Amino acid sequence: MKLVTYELAGARSLGRIDPEAGKIFPLGESKSAYNDDMVTLIERHPALNTVLPTDATGIDLDQVKLLAPIPCPRKNIFCVGKNYFEHAQEFTQSGFDATSKRGDNVPDNPIIFTKAPTTVIAHGDDVPCHGESSTQMDYEAELAVIIGTGGRGIKKAEAFDHVFGYTIANDVTARDLQLKHRQWFIGKSLDGTCPMGPWIATADDVDAENLTIQCWVNSELRQDANSKDLIFDIPTLIETISLGITLEPGDIISTGTPAGVGIGFDPPRFLAPGDVVKIEIQGLGTLQNTIT
């Protein structure tokens, strides 16, 4: 099932999207059962493997404004650094990595950082270029995991039982701030720097360990990879984070970006106002945003 949060005539609702038909079918109990809130829905149905009842009549997609599936996460988004081999190499060799020496390419353990909830914007929203604080904005196409059943001390073998579904995230990064402040938080958390969506595909809907991930900047293909090439796979990430941190329904783990980001080029190719970044992941749709 593909779930969306959308706005129609100023009111937020939850629905099922049928991308082929170009329609959204409102969830019957969006307001009464879930208060039009995706995290509340996830709390009620943490392992959703049935189709929830919807209105029989769909709404044309162009009649609504899609929001991020979880427009206001309740806490920071967990993110993973250097989780594809070729990207780990390009990042470490770029000179923008304050956390390791050149040549120290592949981490021994997952690198976990977070982005503030205020970074989240929707498919179609503009990404502010933050020219007052950064001149080096970069894109990172990523597969994001949405936690269903929470828990602490989750073992790899049970990890997928805790996944509600998946979506696309663009971990937009201010490289100059990431380097300047050594800790990555500021460079990763500027307002509007986490486009997410357009929908959540429930876990039964996609094979998360074999998904093509592609990213274009102004129609030029920059990233082209597969989630099977993650250095630390989804079960390892869930086990690592939950060892001492309780994961909760609706928590988001963005699994890291493959090679082909702007700093992978020599000279680096940073984003500029007017640039359009488009990300596609098999089964998860298209996430497109313009830099302004």
User: Contact positions toward Mg ion, by CB under 5 A?
Assistant: 140, 171, 257
Name which of 8, 15, 52 is nearest 198 in CA terms: 15
Nearest-approach distance from CB 155 to Mg ion, in angstroms: 25
Take residue 52 and report the two structure tokens written for it.
């929830």
For residue 78, give both structure tokens.
Answer: 């967990």
Q: Tell me which residue of 234, 287, 229 sits closest to 259, measured CA to CA.
A: 229
Whichever of 242 and 257 has its CB closer to Mg ion, that residue is: 257
For the bound state, the minimum distance from the C-beta of residue 96 to Mg ion, rounded and expressed in Å, comes to 13
CA distance 96 to 82: 12
Q: How far is the CB of 284 from Mg ion (least distance, A)?
A: 16
DSSP β-ladder status, 137-138 and 126-127? unpaired
CB 224 within 8 A of CB 259: no
Min dist CB 56 to Mg ion, Å, is 40
The distance of closest approach from Cβ of residue 255 to Mg ion in the complex, given in angstroms and rounded to an integer, is 9
Cβ(111)–Cβ(255) below 8 Å: no
Nearer to Mg ion, 13 or 76 (CB): 76
Give 12 or 85: the residue with its C-beta nearer to Mg ion.
85
Nearer Cβ to Mg ion (140/233): 140
Shortest gap between Cβ of 169 and Mg ion (angstroms)?
8
For the CB of residue 188, give the shortest distance to Mg ion in the complex, in Å: 8
C-beta of 16 vs 82, nearer to Mg ion: 82
157: left (phi over 0), alpha (psi -120 to 50) or beta: alpha
Pick 48 or 215: Cβ nearer Mg ion: 215
Question: Which CB atom, from 249 or from 256, has the smaller least distance to Mg ion?
Answer: 256
Check: CB of residue 6 under 8 Å from CB of residue 15: yes
CB of 2 to Mg ion, least distance (A): 24
Q: CA-CA distance, 270 to 272, in Å (whole number)?
A: 7
Residue with the shortest CB distance to Mg ion: 171
Distances in Å between the Cα of 193 and the Cα atoms of 8, 115, 121, 212, 217 are: 24, 9, 7, 23, 16
**What distances in angstroms separate CA 276 from CA 59, 70, 221, 272, 287, one per listed residue?**
27, 23, 12, 9, 10
Rounded to whole angstroms, how far apart are CA atoms 120 and 40? 18
**Residue 49: count of CB within 10 angstroms of its CB:** 10
What are residue 147's DSSP bridge partners? 163
Please say which residue, 36 or 140, places its beta carbon nearer to Mg ion. 140
